[in-house]
Amino acid sequence: MKKLFALMLAAMMLLSVCSFASAESVEEIIAQAQTMTLDELFHKAIEESNGKRFDAVGNSSRGKSVLPLFVEALQKIDPNYTLDYEGGWQQPKENKIFDQLTEDVNGANHVMSMTLIQDGNQIQSKMLDTGLLLNFVPKDWTEAEGVAKEGNENPLALQTLNKVFMFNNLGEKTYKNMWDFVREGEAPLFMGVNSELVGKNFLYMMTNDKYATIAKEAYEAWDGKNEEDDALIEDMKLDAADLGLTGDNVQYGLAWVYLWCEKYNEQTDDGPICNTLVTTSAKDQAGLLVYSKLRSVEETAESSVNNITVAAYQDGYVGIGGYAYKHYLMLTKTSPLPWTSCALIAYMTTTQEGFKAWGKDMGGYAPVPACMQDHSKDGGDEFPAKNDRGYDWWLNEGKLVVEEPAYCASVSGTMSDWIDGIVAGK
């Protein structure tokens, strides 16, 4: 029995060492890969994965469409290269991606090589702080002309997507200030804060002093404020203290969040929100939704893109024009095919062909300008709302609230329940 126990203990120690070594080797491969060009990574991928199975998991189903293009790119180097990827790109429902990745990395059989993932809050707390996912920044990305590194490098962002304020312009209401969307009587259409958590991250970010200051400036310029609004902002100083929030103007951001949660009309998806807002029967309705939904509006007698206005595109609009969230690309620390994953990530983030599945629509922006397609004239003179003003405009002029994983994770512990309480009580 003692010998059997000793053998079992030795086997367990060996398994632990092997597991640790495997994780270390992925980190070492990433360190090497970050010094290599895309062409060099392609050669390493061919050596590693020719004839093998590749599995990944992503929030975007478009990931599966890039795999055949990736294989074709490798076949230009080695015509005999093959990769079994059919069914290999999985898209979990109901925010199960974090559980799936955790189980895969901590399990005995590691399948997932990489991920395309959203929700900066959970990425930080469940994936980065735990070391389950590893960041890789391609050399060609780092050295690309005009690359937007700030906020996109750690973790590496595939794209930034915007959700923007829009309103039906057939009625008499005007929306020239961010506070107009939370004035008395408003019920803006919005996906529920717990059905799509990037929306909750947006509300967390509103308490960051950068965006709280924008809220303050907009409030001071707002002609709709009254004594009740003033009193609410004063009360929010106490709430901010209870929530552990700091910043000179945090009460303004928190007051806006309070009013938004109290008033928004919860919807199941951005598609139905868009389809509602563009109709002739939606006079004086407003919403916060993915900008790119406008691309699929079918023009009829009852529905038209011209029935809506993108709030931030108006001359004289004051305050935030919406918010931005990101899709991030990372390797699992137990990646079975790390070289291939690095090559694929580099391909997706540094070439227009690799980014094509996402770049074909307005409202999604790659950090590397060379990856982007021009959507500034998608609507032409006929549908000006579809003429995308681009990444730089939306960040600076449109004042998007941009998700920061570390900040969201730092405040979500207290703010999540506070937000849920307001929503539940309305």
Give the CATH number of the domain where residue 92 resides: 3.40.190.10
pLDDT band (50, 70, 90) for residue 60: confident
For residue 151, is it within any domain? yes
Residue 407 lies in a domain: yes
Distance CA 7, CA 10 (A): 5
Beta bridge partners of 90: 57
Per-residue pLDDT, averaged over 370-383, amounts to 96
**pLDDT band at 93; cut points 50, 70, 90:** confident
- Do 190 and 286 lie in a common domain? yes
Residue type, 137: V
Q: Report the pLDDT averaged over residues 186-192.
A: 97
137 and 217 both lie in a single domain: no
Same domain assignment for residues 124 and 174: no
Same domain, 132 and 173: no
Indicate if the pLDDT at residue 296 is higher than 50.
yes
Residue 286 lies in a domain: yes
Which pLDDT value is given to residue 5?
A: 43
Domain check: are 285 and 234 in the same one?
A: yes
In angstroms, rounded to a whole number, what is the distance separating the alpha carbons of residues 63 and 348? 9
φ, ψ dihedrals at 267, nearest 5°: -125, 160
- pLDDT confidence of residue 292: 96
Q: Is 146 left (phi over 0), alpha (psi -120 to 50) or beta?
A: left
The answer to whether residue 113 sits within a structural domain is yes
What is the CB neighbour count within 10 angstroms for residue 87? 9
Q: Are residues 418 and 331 in the same domain?
A: no
Q: Are residues 78 and 226 part of one domain?
A: no
- 139 lies in a domain? yes
Residue 291 has pLDDT above 50, yes or no: yes
Distance CA 180, CA 221 (A): 11
Same domain, 119 and 205: no
Same domain, residue pair 214 and 340: no
State how beta strands 157-168 and 322-332 pair: antiparallel
Task: State how far the Cα of 274 lies from the Cα of 295, in Å rounded to an integer.
Answer: 10
Residue 24's pLDDT is what?
Answer: 59
> Between these two residues, 2 and 202, which has the higher pLDDT value?
202
Q: What is the pLDDT of residue 61?
A: 85
pLDDT, one tens digit per residue, over 206-263 is 999 999 999 999 999 999 999 999 999 999 999 999 999 999 999 999 999 999 999 9
- Tokens 């061919």 sit on residue: 46
In a domain, 187, yes or no: yes
* Positions of E strands within 82-156: 83-84, 89-90, 114-117, 133-134
Assess whether 318 and 331 both reside in one domain: no
Assess if residue 290 is contained within a domain: yes
Structure tokens at 161: 């997507």
Res. 1 pLDDT band, cuts 50 70 90:
very low
Do the domain assignments include residue 14? no
Same domain, 281 and 304: yes
At CB < 8 A and 24+ separation, what contacts does 384-392 make? 384/313, 385/166, 385/294, 385/305, 385/306, 385/308, 385/309, 385/310, 385/313, 386/294, 386/295, 386/305, 386/362, 388/291, 388/362, 388/363, 389/313, 390/365, 391/148, 391/160, 391/365
Q: Which of 236, 256, 259, 251 is nearest to 185 (CA)?
A: 259
Looking at residue 195, what is its pLDDT?
87
Cα–Cα distances (Å) from 350 to 23, 147, 358, 372, in that order, read 26, 10, 13, 10
Higher pLDDT, 360 or 1: 360
The whole domain housing 239 covers: 161-324+387-425
Same domain for 262 and 409, yes or no, is yes
How does residue 6 score in pLDDT terms, banded at 50, 70 and 90?
very low
What's the structural domain count of the chain? 2
